[in-house]
A and B are shown apart, each in its own frame.
Chain A
Amino acid sequence: MSARRTEGGGRIDRARTIRFTFDGATYSGHPGDTLASALLANGVSLFGRSFKYHRPRGVLSAGVDEPNALVTVLRGQAREPNIPATIVEIHDGLVAESQNRFPSLAWDVSAVNQLAGPLISAGFYYKTFMGPVIGPLKGTRFWMVCERFIRRAAGLGRAGAVPDKARYERMNAFCDVLVVGAGPAGLTAAKAAAEKGARVVLADIEPRLGGSANWSGEVIDGKPAADWAAAAVNDLRAADNVRLLPRTTVWGYYDGNTLAALERVSDHKQHPAKGEPRHRTWTIRAKSVVLATGALERPLVFPGNDRPGVMLAGAAERYANEFGVLPGQKVAVFTNNDSAYRAAHALRQAGAAIAAIVDVRTDISADMLDFAGKAETEMLTGHAVVATEGGKALTGIKVQRFDAASGALSGEPRSIHADCLLMSGGWSPAIHLASQAGARAEWNEALQAFLPPKPNQKWTGAGAFTGAFSTTEAIEQGHAAGLTASGARSKHFDAPAVEAAPGAPGSEPVFEITAPGKSFVDFQHDVTADDVRLAHREGFVSVEHLKRYTTLGMATDQGKTSNVPGLAIMAAALGKEIPQVGTTRFRPPYAAVSLGSLAGERYGDLKPERLTPMHDWHLANGASMYSAGLWWRPQIYGHAGETVEQAYVRETKATRGSAGIVDVSTLGKIAVQGPDAAELLDRVYTNMFSTLAVGKARYGLMLREDGLAFDDGTTWRLGEQDFLMTTTTANAGKVMQHLEYFLEVIWPDLKVTVTSVTDQWAGAAIGGPKAREILASCVEGTAVDNATLPFMGIVHGEIAGVPVMICRLSFSGEMAFEVYCGADWGTHVWEALIEAGKPFDLVPYGLEALGTMRIEKGHVTGAEIDGRTTARDLHLDWMLSKKKPFIGSAMMDREGLIAADRLQLVGVVSLDNRPLNGGAHIVEQLDEKNPHGSIGHITACCYSPSLGKYIALALVEGGKARHGSRAFTSDPLRGRFGPVEIVSHHFFDPEGSRMHG
């Protein structure tokens, strides 16, 4: 047992010892310890270095509000930075390290920043990263290099670089009453609601439910408060309408009484159970909420208030009573309110000596004087701490006579020896969730605190959250809130008797002791009182601006301890009252949330994947798969030793030479059926479909309402009132929604049904000079000759006993056919086609070859229909019917959309025989040093086996007029510059003689 560990009491199990590692050294603790309590018990006072000045820092608090003692927890190679040591439960094998120090915590070279303090005050980053506005370094890259080092010196923990192997999950919950906070108020509320039969969820951030009952030392219902709480928790656990969620932070309160919570399921376990997630995100829809989130203690702002050993009084009381740890042997107390007296008494009882109680007030109640007497200490009323002494640990304090009304110090400073200073600047109710839920908080002058706003969602407050700081009130309010929340009427309540510690709830309005030295307001972001005043002198008067300029309250602790002191100091600088300055609205999350828990199962292998019916065949036949949206499609069917380019060139040559086959099942397919089907198509496509004969297909183009191109594809007329529309793979969902919107909202009179049938059909496109012979050899029930199956014709037949629908259309530019069958028979028909193709050297080809052939043909896809191009830009104006209005027809001829200098589709040929890059710019004059003057960009590129050149499609200003002219590709990102020729986008077989046959 260490000197800092008390003999008995608290939640720790002294019978068992746990070993863990901090900064490479092994320490021991007990089950129930947090990393902070265990290290304090081992005499560790230095936990980290501060953000900006690299000052030594210890532990300030005992909970989620901790701004100083941030550590990185290592799980194998995975690192989780910036975790308060106060919420890390130790377990055997825990490995943690301190942050923001080099080379070690005790000897940190950047601590010289403290000497440069005046240079890195408020607004440092804004001022610095603007760079010099005059002089030789103005606007130079040198400054950007400096920025990297400056940013590295500041900051917190370092995130890991390896994937996090831990499992996370998401859960939905519905309940009648959600109780947030399981202190005396929350426990009573949950019990009252549960007894009325309500479905109750009780969540608390701590591992042990009970809140202040675990450390108050009070007596409830004749039992020590901690035992009363444990009994209440047991009763709740036994009820089947109650779900207890310990280690759960309710971090967001959204509209519709929807709350978000993070449950740390297995962080505290050395060996999580099989399948147990690390964290779980809860989305809780509650009919009613009880907010019993308690209050957070505020520090006092005075020089040296950040020295290791200076701690919040309530936190020290917790360490002594709940963890059996003394934060110091000789303890001084500095307060502006009554609550610190109880802490002094608790530490005395636990074995510490109390050196002095320094109180800014002069009028001390008899109860408090009684506490001071029991603590066997000297009382210094009307005094304040003006300095702290020591290096990496506190050795003493300096006090001076202080007038609370004027803030004036007088008399000679006196030194007091102490290794720990407890401070209390009053208490702020934890109103964050109420603030998130809607209205603005109200300042209460008597309590010197912001109180929760009036509810504009269904919640009821209870306990310290409402500013009722005594346990007696908490239990009464908790009971009433539980009844209200469960919809029951309040009646007589036999409240358990509470032997509560005495003390008035309010605090003296003293937030800062103005004396020379650095007085910290925001410990985590190293914002001092002088920084706040500097920001005010520089003209920042709005609390929102001040917050951003000084970064006050913007660290990972979200200003839980610094918010009110910061406002008070700013109000003083402005010469206003705190309520006039106002508070910022709290936003989710209340405390840090792991990104993994937000993603839950929606990543990696568990992302939805769409596989075509022939997927397994592709894998079995050497395809490298490529993700296209949610779909997986073959990229190439590579042979051993082939590069991607070699593979697609081979596949393209084989297709153009004999025949190739590609899986086109991913194309969006929509059945458009009904008496007005043709009319609908005439309205949504730019060209006519009512004139299309049954058994024929037509290429169609859709515009958006604003006249820009939207999607293209072929639509097949299968019957008088029956069409099969195909869309691009990427736009299938959008087109479907587009049709549904117009049918329901704009043209409800049209009698048409649209049905997505993408997944019902398997499709294969077979093309090349031998394609027809292959089909003829395997299709039964129909001929496929030119007369029976002309270009854009449709026939029905069978392949290998399966009904198929064949349309003769071409994307590759070859004589080609799209063969569709029921999805379940996709592989069966595909294999029959492959078999039939063997005598004709049929090859399967992937997306690369598909893209190559379409680039050679100059067909457009989503890369060209990019939401900025018009039909004219893409040379598709021949498809714009003049005989009828269609979606986009009214807007497509606007001035800006028909200008001559618009980007138009062109072909580009590399003149230096090197590959081109998608996204590269096209310029008229090459300037590698200072690239500028873009006249367009490359949308798609490939090596063209047919031309023997590297080619690309591009969108270029006034493109058509530039055919035959020289230009350059300029791609500074990839360092690719070189000459190109601008040509027509029809690279290959412009007359279409191959596909017409």
Chain B
Amino acid sequence: MLITCPYCGPRDVSEFTYQGDGNRQRPAPNSQNLDAWNEYVYDRLNPAGDHNEIWQHSGGCRIHLRVVRNTLTHAVSSAVAVRGHHGGKP
């Protein structure tokens, strides 16, 4: 599996760390809505197909990426910096 890091180019998956489901929404820090927290901490989407994920280029530039990965084929159709400095392009 290859992920194209906007800074470093196409790199092997072994350089990256999976940082979880990219669809999760963190409640406001002072929110007391336990259901919302529960959903954020424990619930994960598990689609058969394209999935939004967060990956960190931990063995490279250490940037966090929003990655769209097909869970059936590992094909990565998009990888952009979470902070979006470069709109996904170096």
Contacts and interface: CB of A to CB of B under 8 A. Distances in A.
B34 A894 contact: yes
B32 A890 contact: yes
Nearest to B40: A705
Contact of A741 (B19, B31, B41): B19
A256 B83 contact: no
B34 A740 contact: no
Contacts, number: 53
Contact of B2 (A256, A744, A890): A256
B37 interface: yes
B37 A890 contact: yes
A912 to B, nearest CB: 45
A499 interface: no
B34 A885 contact: no
A501 to B, nearest CB: 41
Interface string B23-55: 000110111101001101110000000000010
Contacts of A705: 40-41
A740 B61 CA distance: 12
Nearest to A438: B73
Contacts of B26: 746
Contacts of B19: 737, 741, 745
Contact of B74 (A256, A741, A744, A885): A256
- Tell me what chain B mostly uses at the interface: helix, strand, loop, or mixed: loop
Given A683-B29, A744-B64, A745-B82, A456 B56 contact: no
A8 B6 CA distance: 63
Interface in A705-745: 705-706, 737, 740-741, 744-745
A740 B74 contact: no
B37 A741 contact: no
Interface residues on chain B, size class:
20 to 34
A890 B31 contact: yes
A300 to B, nearest CB: 39
Given A255-B73, A744-B82, A891 B37 contact: yes
Given A438-B73, A890-B27, A894-B34, A744 B83 contact: yes
Residue of B17, B31, B38, B41 most packed against chain A (CB within 10 A): B41
Given A885-B29, A885-B30, A891 B41 contact: yes
Residue of A254, A744, A894 most packed against chain B (CB within 10 A): A744
Contacts of B62: 740
Contacts of B73: 255, 438, 456
A891 B83 CA distance: 27
Interface in A225-259: 254-256, 258
A748 interface: yes
A889 B34 CA distance: 11
Contact of A256 (B1, B30, B56): B1
Contact of B56 (A255, A737, A748, A886): A737
Contact of B82 (A254, A256, A748, A889): A748
Contacts of B17: 737
A262 to B, nearest CB: 19
B63 A744 contact: yes
Nearest to A744: B64
Contacts of B40: 705
B64 A741 contact: yes
B58 interface: yes
Interface in A425-444: 438
A506 to B, nearest CB: 34
Contacts of B1: 254-256, 258
Contacts of B38: 891
Contacts of B82: 744-745, 748
B8 interface: no
B79 to A, nearest CB: 13
B41 A740 contact: no
Interface of B: 1-2, 17, 19, 26-27, 29-32, 34, 37-38, 40-42, 54, 56, 58, 62-64, 73-75, 82-83
Which 4 A-B pairs have CB atoms at the shortest separation, nearest pair first? Answer: A255-B74, A885-B29, A744-B64, A885-B30
Interface of A: 254-256, 258, 438, 456, 683, 705-706, 737, 740-741, 744-746, 748, 885-886, 889-891, 894
